[in-house]
């Protein structure tokens, strides 16, 4: 079984890549072979993502900014919609009250809140990955109260829309970092599932 600390470490990196384009020092680490050799997850999917980063050309900050913008914000619409509510509601709207509010309640139960709460929807894939990876860390550290909300976030929220986001990123990403993100994210989701459900 994957160590909960490894899940937390990988989730911390991946959530940041979904939430914002990496800053220069983060970009450096994403192309540092010694760092890549120590990626915390060792499953086949993660290995494919790491291999892509090792083989691909180093992305410029400008290219990463452009890729992140078009994938997750868009000029008119994002190529890889990062919010849960459009995938799971009949009207397909972002900030759908029932979904977004339940996600917010789960964050609150953990003592967490998204930055600028109410300005942006709470159901962004990056925040949900951060929540689940933190939840796994808490469970592994002996916090029994973390198990139910972590399983709910994973089973009833994150895994309901993550495959569609991953597929869209796989189709549209133009940089090595964002081309590696689908495999790395699938690896994380696999390891979280193993950790939570055996």
Task: Specify the pLDDT at position 101.
Answer: 84
Task: Specify the pLDDT at position 95.
Answer: 62
Arithmetic mean of pLDDT, 42-58: 95
Contact call for residues 52 and 183 (beta carbons, < 8 A): yes
Domain containing residue 18:
4-197
Nearest to 194 by CA among 81, 44, 63, 35: 44
pLDDT digits (tens, 9 = 90+) for 104-153: 999 888 888 888 777 778 899 999 999 999 999 999 999 999 999 999 99
Task: Specify the pLDDT at position 88.
Answer: 87
pLDDT digits (tens, 9 = 90+) for 38-47: 999 999 999 9
pLDDT digits (tens, 9 = 90+) for 165-175: 999 999 999 99
CATH number at residue 156: 1.10.3480.10
For the chain, how many structural domains are there in total? 1
Q: Above pLDDT 70, what percent of the chain?
A: 96
pLDDT at 2 over 70: no
Lowest mean pLDDT among 52-56, 153-157, 173-177: 52-56
pTM: 0.94
CA-CA-CA-CA torsion for 97, 151, 186, 105, nearest 10 degrees? 30
pLDDT digits (tens, 9 = 90+) for 79-112: 999 999 888 887 766 766 788 888 999 988 888 8
Q: Above pLDDT 90, what percent of the chain?
A: 74
Arithmetic mean of pLDDT, 55-68: 94
pLDDT at 69 over 70: yes
Nearest to 175 by CA among 60, 80, 20: 60
Task: Specify the pLDDT at position 21.
Answer: 94
Task: Specify the pLDDT at position 113.
Answer: 82
Arithmetic mean of pLDDT, 163-186: 98
Residue 162's CB is within 10 A of a number of other CB atoms, namely 23
CA distances (Å), origin 127, targets 11, 28, 47, 120, 148: 10, 23, 24, 11, 18
Arithmetic mean of pLDDT, 18-31: 92
- DSSP assigned state of 156: I
Contact call for residues 168 and 79 (beta carbons, < 8 A): yes
């Amino acid at each position: 079984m994957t160590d909960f600390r490894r899940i937390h470490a990988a989730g911390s990196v991946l959530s940041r890549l979904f939430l914002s384009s990496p800053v220069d020092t983060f970009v450096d680490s994403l192309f540092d072979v010694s760092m890549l050799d120590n990626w915390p997850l060792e499953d086949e999917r993660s290995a494919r993502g790491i291999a892509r980063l090792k083989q691909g050309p180093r992305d410029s900050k400008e290219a990463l900014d452009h890729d992140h913008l078009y994938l997750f914000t868009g000029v008119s619409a994002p190529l890889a919609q990062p919010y849960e509510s459009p995938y799971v509601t009949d009207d397909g709207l972002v900030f759908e009250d029932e979904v977004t509010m339940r996600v917010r309640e789960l964050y609150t139960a953990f003592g967490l809140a998204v930055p600028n709460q109410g300005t942006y929807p709470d159901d962004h894939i990056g925040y949900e990955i951060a929540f689940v990876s933190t939840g796994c860390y808490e469970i592994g550290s002996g916090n029994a109260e973390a198990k139910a909300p972590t399983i709910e976030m994973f089973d009833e929220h994150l895994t309901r829309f993550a495959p569609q986001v991953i597929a869209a990123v796989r189709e549209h990403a133009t940089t090595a970092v964002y081309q590696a993100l689908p495999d790395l994210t699938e690896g994380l989701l696999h390891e979280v599932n193993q950790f939570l459900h055996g």
